[in-house]
Amino acid sequence: MSSTIAIDAMGGDFGPQVTIPASLACLKANPDLKLIMVGDEAVLAELLTQALVDYKDRISIQHASQIVEMHESPQKALKNKKDSSMRVAINLVRDGIADASVSAGNTGALMATARFVLKMIPGIDRPAIISTMPSIFGHTHMLDLGGNVDCSAEHLYQFAIMGEEVVKAVENIDKPKVGLLNIGEEDMKGNGQVKAAAKLLENSALNYIGYVEGDSINAGHVKVDLIVTDGFVGNVALKSIEGAAKMIGSQLKASFSRNMFTKLAGFLAYPVLKSFRDSIDPRLYNGASFIGLRGLVIKSHGGADALAFETAIHLAEVEVAKDVTRKISEKVENALARREAV
Amino acid sequence: MSSTIAIDAMGGDFGPQVTIPASLACLKANPDLKLIMVGDEAVLAELLTQALVDYKDRISIQHASQIVEMHESPQKALKNKKDSSMRVAINLVRDGIADASVSAGNTGALMATARFVLKMIPGIDRPAIISTMPSIFGHTHMLDLGGNVDCSAEHLYQFAIMGEEVVKAVENIDKPKVGLLNIGEEDMKGNGQVKAAAKLLENSALNYIGYVEGDSINAGHVKVDLIVTDGFVGNVALKSIEGAAKMIGSQLKASFSRNMFTKLAGFLAYPVLKSFRDSIDPRLYNGASFIGLRGLVIKSHGGADALAFETAIHLAEVEVAKDVTRKISEKVENALARREAV
């Protein structure tokens, strides 16, 4: 199935330097993919001269005169950057010209813009950010990763409903196991928000398995397909894991750099260490989806390199192919109708 | 300086099997240490026959007829287990017979018992759990790790005041750098609780450096000595890091177990891999202090082995030697007097 994705070519710490090679790699890998590169036409046309020939009919440029800065406030970006590459890319999704947009730009501005331009799916109060995390069982999906910092139990319930659809579609499983992130597995544990959300999940049609703790994200004692939490806790957990991986990686490197003998051991073990490093490469987990909106927006890490950004575009391709947005809308409509019928 | 520590000999997943060898190792290492082993006298006397000879005058048994189960509710433990090893050990601290107590028992019950028996330092609303986390800069201290799941900004402020005293005493530094855990470093980021706490910290005499993100726990871009957060977020971050370390460790092992060649590489690199594993050994970070109470209680991981439990006893020795409880009390008294004078 052919899909058209709008790329915010100017976004992120590195702009076209990263977004263009990643985009070309995706075009090469998937002959059914079409890309619209959004940004300064003069800049992009020069960088894409050859690509416009090689991938004629599959790549085009959409001009946008502004760029949202990485630390610009969402409010200012919304008000003053109506012709930003980020916003124009999302407009293309709203207008049905693109099936999804991908941006490595400022998260807050991207979320505010996506919400303003695309609007919410009726019945959902707030968009959430969902992504996959590597685990000893393969990987697990988790939301919210930072979209919402003050959530009610009802919001957590809505996140679970939406997250289930994403997991079902992307993983091709019928009844994903849903866990609620808490500080213990016993009923008595947790804060008021989590206890109230647990009640809502127990009474839902979801395959709710109960509370899970922080270690379940990467290495729990049972497999869980979807972990639900609020954006504050989810973002702290995500970044704590990034920090742990970085520290462990630097200690492993230090252990092999200590002296002649350890360096020799490192040389001999190089292929193994490389395959290990590849197996935990965070670039292969880049890309988070904003869900709950009437259109698909994928956020890449701001510091993504070309391989990482390629992963984010690939995520957009998968979610377009699986029709995730439509599935969430239908699911929410049904869940609401069931509630009203009660 | 001689210190006397009451050991909950029956607590944790393994009871005397772990607490006794750990205690004997500590007695051997520190000739100024005295231990009171609290638990079933008949059981302990048999296991300690030789130790009571070897360490005459330095080890004794205090009988306690009950044991708090690992999943018993704090309320039930408080009401029905008045002669538990956990409670009797804390009674010894209250009565000035021991300088601190160490337990690997059920966290909730231990916290409730410590609070009930020892009472709070005047001016502090709630006890907090503080521990050290390894980092690329050495290590950092963090609180609260699970004592309090619904915190106000004022509670976070009190945690910072108490935590600063712990870090000053234990690390021998004058002005520890204090960071507030958030989901971004910009002022606009965060939930209401964190923003209000930031105001209190900015106006305090603390060396407050601003918001830090989850990756700052293990691998931030600047060194931070103390990270302040509420018990829900702190506990999730701690366990997320545990899970990440476990997953990475298991992937490293898998990479070296893949085939004959990788196994040979692993054999050759064994000493390096072992020194790496030792450098991130979580047992060397076992032990968290309950602070804000009128007496010192150290909580060990429930699943601790003897080496890990030994680390927790050693933490108690250090905090007794540094007179942490008295320092916190004085600091809080001064901070309150200053506030009242405003």
Kindly give the confidence (pLDDT) of every residue in chain B, 342 residues in length, as a single tens digit, with 9 standing for 90 and above.
Answer: 689 999 999 999 999 999 999 999 999 999 999 999 999 999 999 999 999 999 999 999 999 999 999 889 899 999 999 999 999 999 999 999 999 999 999 999 999 999 999 999 988 988 999 999 999 999 999 999 987 888 899 999 999 999 999 999 889 999 999 999 999 877 778 888 999 999 999 999 999 999 999 999 999 888 999 999 999 999 999 999 999 999 998 888 888 988 988 898 888 888 888 888 888 888 888 999 999 999 999 999 999 999 999 999 999 999 999 998 998 988 888 876 666 554
What pLDDT sits at residue A342?
Answer: 47
Q: Where are the alpha helices (DSSP H) in A215-284?
A: 216-219, 231-256, 260-268, 270-279
Segment B252-300, tens digit of pLDDT: 888 898 898 889 888 888 888 888 888 888 888 899 999 999 999 999 9
Percent of all residues in chain A with a pLDDT value above 90, rounded to a whole number: 73
What is A63-77 written as a DSSP string?
A: E--B---TT--HHHH
Segment A215-239, tens digit of pLDDT: 999 998 889 999 999 999 999 999 9
Q: Which residue of B has its CA nearest to A149?
A: B191
State the DSSP H helix or E strand holding residue A204, giving kind and residue range, or none if neither: none
Structure tokens at B67: 């044991």
CB B137 within 8 A of CB A247: no
Q: Which residue of A has its CA nearest to B268?
A: A265
Cβ neighbours of residue B338 closer than 8 Å, sequence gap 6 or more: B205
A120/A89 Cα distance (integer angstroms): 18
Count of CB atoms within 10 A of residue B283's CB? Answer: 17
Q: Which residue of B has its CA nearest to A191?
A: B149
Chain A hits for B246, Cβ within 8 Å: 136, 215, 218-219
Contact B150 A73 (CB under 8 A): no
Strand, helix or coil at B104? coil
Contact A219 B244 (CB under 8 A): yes
Q: What is the mean pLDDT of residues A52-77?
A: 94
CB B230 within 8 A of CB B149: yes
Mean residue pLDDT of chain A comes to 92
A206/A161 Cα distance (integer angstroms): 8
Strand, helix or coil at A124? coil
What pLDDT sits at residue B341?
Answer: 54
- Structure confidence at residue A339 as a pLDDT band (50, 70, 90): low
In the 8-state DSSP scheme, what is residue A177? E
CA neighbor of B228 nearest in space, from B209, B244, B242: B209
Cβ neighbours of residue A88 closer than 8 Å, sequence gap 6 or more: A6, A38, A62, A63, A64
Count of CB atoms within 10 A of residue A191's CB? Answer: 18
What pLDDT sits at residue B283?
Answer: 87
CB A112 within 8 A of CB A78: yes
Q: Which residue of B has its CA nearest to A221?
A: B243
Distance from CA of B289 to the nearest CA of A (A): 18
Q: Give the angle subtended at the CA of A94 by the CAs of A91 and A97, to the nearest 5°.
A: 85
Distance from CA of B195 to the nearest CA of A (A): 12
Structure tokens at B68: 């708090």
What pLDDT sits at residue A185?
Answer: 79
Phi, psi dihedral angles at A275 (to 5 degrees) = -65, -35
Segment A130-159, tens digit of pLDDT: 999 999 999 999 999 987 888 899 999 999
What pLDDT sits at residue A230?
Answer: 93
Contact B248 A280 (CB under 8 A): yes
Count the alpha carbons within 13 Å of B340 in the hemisphere toward its beta carbon.
7
Which one of B71, B252, B271 has the shortest CB-CB distance to A276? B252
Structure tokens at A339: 């509630």
What pLDDT sits at residue B339?
Answer: 65
What pLDDT sits at residue A2?
Answer: 85
Contact B183 A232 (CB under 8 A): yes
Contact B232 A149 (CB under 8 A): no
Predicted confidence (pLDDT) at residue A47 exceeds the cutoff of 70? yes
Q: What's the ipTM?
A: 0.91
Structural domains in chain A, CATH included, are 1-124+292-325 (3.40.718.10), 127-286 (3.40.718.10)
Chain B hits for A112, Cβ within 8 Å: none
Chain B hits for A150, Cβ within 8 Å: 191-192
CA neighbor of A133 nearest in space, from A197, A39, A226: A226
Predicted confidence (pLDDT) at residue A173 exceeds the cutoff of 90? yes
The number of C-beta contacts closer than 8 angstroms across A and B is 200
Segment A263-311, tens digit of pLDDT: 988 888 888 888 888 888 888 889 999 999 999 999 999 999 999 999 9
